[in-house]
Structure 1
């Protein structure tokens, strides 16, 4: 693995971990609000769903990106897939917490995540054959 690939991978792992941390802090914030009179249990549930959904998809995709980098994927490929994943997860996290469901943010975020996962899965399977 070259330095450019490792740098690209580090960027997207770091940013996606930061997003996961921010979503976790949002759950804590909403949990404290829900204990008082100003909290909304629906808002808390949506925050939990946004965090939980992120943790379902992101770790596996990041591991896949790491394997791709180790097997020779270019830094450009890692950047495209990592960037797509990051933007998709932000859109999905925003969309899932809105009152109107479904909405364009959640849908685009979901499909962007699936598309990224499909690209990673396909590449890994092709590399393994």
Structure 2
């Protein structure tokens, strides 16, 4: 059995996780990212905390979503619905990560991002619950 849908969204989410991790490293003045900016740059502590939480928030939500997506795909649920859930989740995490990790104030991106994240979860929960009832 091929698990291409889960693999595709795992790749996207891991890539974005790395982007957010590099953002945190940059704000911490890590030697890894020193070449990106001047040595006298001042770091906003609030922006650093926001970047850390944007990264942490993705780390907290993505594994549960990917496990649920994997189980739904393994159960041969409709791939169109799985892609819709995956797109909503990824766009939600992207919006939230950019709105929270790269900007000091962007409630539209944060709220929209969380809404799409929860919508992606909800689609998978409905599909999985329906499958469980039908399989029983």
Q: Normalization by structure 2: what TM-score? A: 0.82
Check if 1:15 corresponds to 2:12: yes
Check whether the contact 2:77–2:127 (CA below 8 A) recurs between aligned residues. Answer: no
Check whether the contact 2:85–2:119 (CA below 8 A) recurs between aligned residues. Answer: no
Within 5 A, what are the aligned runs for 1:79-118? 79-97=83-101, 98-100=103-105, 103-118=107-122
Distance 1:125 1:74 in 2: 14
Aligned length: 124
Stretches of structure 1 that go unaligned for 5 or more consecutive residues are none
Distance 2:11 2:84 in 1: 15
Residue 39 of structure 1 aligns to a residue in which SS? coil
Distance 1:78 1:100 in 2: 32
- Equivalent in 104, 125, 128 of residue 124 of structure 1: 128
Distance 2:67 2:131 in 1: 15
Which protein shows a greater Rg?
A: 2
- Equivalent in 23, 26, 29 of residue 29 of structure 1: 26
Q: Normalization by structure 1: what TM-score? A: 0.86
Stretches of structure 2 that go unaligned for 5 or more consecutive residues are 31-39
Displacement of 1:37 after TM fit? 5.4
